[in-house]
Amino acid sequence: MNQTGFPRDNNFLLDVINLTWERVRRAEEELPLDRLLMVCMDIPAPPSFTRALRDGRHEGLKVIAEVKAASPSQGELVKDLRLEERVVAYERGGAAALSILTEPFFFGGDLDFISRAKKVTSLPILRKDFILSPYQVCEARARGASSVLLITRVLEASVLRELIALSRRLQMESLVEIHDEEDLEKAMRAGAHIIGINNRDLETLEVNLEITERLAPLIPTPLIRVSESGIKNIQDVKRLKGLQLDALLVGETLMRSDDPAALLSALVKEEGA
């Protein structure tokens, strides 16, 4: 059943992948894929993730603001999530789109977070999780997400291609995450349109912005470039500004802020300066 390509000696990835397959199995028992697909076909198309990152491009980079209650490297990020308040604050601060963690065991997420966010915002939403199965793409679409995260490192090439194609058939887009040159080649061969460069090493969980500095120039211009992880302040934004990126995904810094709207506004204004 495990159709992934991650290193077999990586305990964190082994655990999260196994737990994810178990979540998928249980969800399919409750609602089979054919019925879930019918739900997807009966709801309107979500707002365009691509358009949100490309509109007003001359004004500078966009920010994808992330809702994440916890992380494997940092533990609990907030004691009281207050998801709706945070989503409204992100929109007020100028976020172009939202990223919502739905992985429950390591990131404190929940698929219902997407449904709750949709009630208070019209911003496009990225479902951020360990997406391994077409079922999970359909789950995201049924909840109203505009995009799903696909991690190149944990998917075989054929599965990655299948999930990208399915996303498009469901009027969604995929943010395809890479960590090195080999991942980038694999993502482009699979037909990725939005490339996310993750500055966090999946094995050590260490963060280094040099990963974006190395990989961003290798991504062809027509593709959308996003830098993820480790963006902590305006100095980091300045460091990344010259790399022809389209967007930054900012999570832990915003989650730890007492005033995420103000912090996000400062980052957005600096990006446009």
Look at residue 273 in the predicted model and tell me its pLDDT: 39
Task: Tell me which residues are annotated as active site.
Answer: 66, 68, 128, 177, 198, 228-229
Domain definitions of the chain by residue range: 11-272
* pTM exceeds 0.85 for this model: yes
Partners of 51 in the β-ladder? none
CATH code linked to domain 11-272: 3.20.20.70
- pLDDT beyond 60 at 216: yes
**pLDDT tens digits, 20-30:** 999 999 999 99
Nearest alpha carbon to residue 118 among 143, 90, 147: 143
Residue 92 has pLDDT above 60, yes or no: yes
Q: Are strands 224-228 and 173-178 parallel, antiparallel or unpaired?
A: unpaired
Say how many CA atoms lie within 13 Å of 63 toward its Cβ: 30
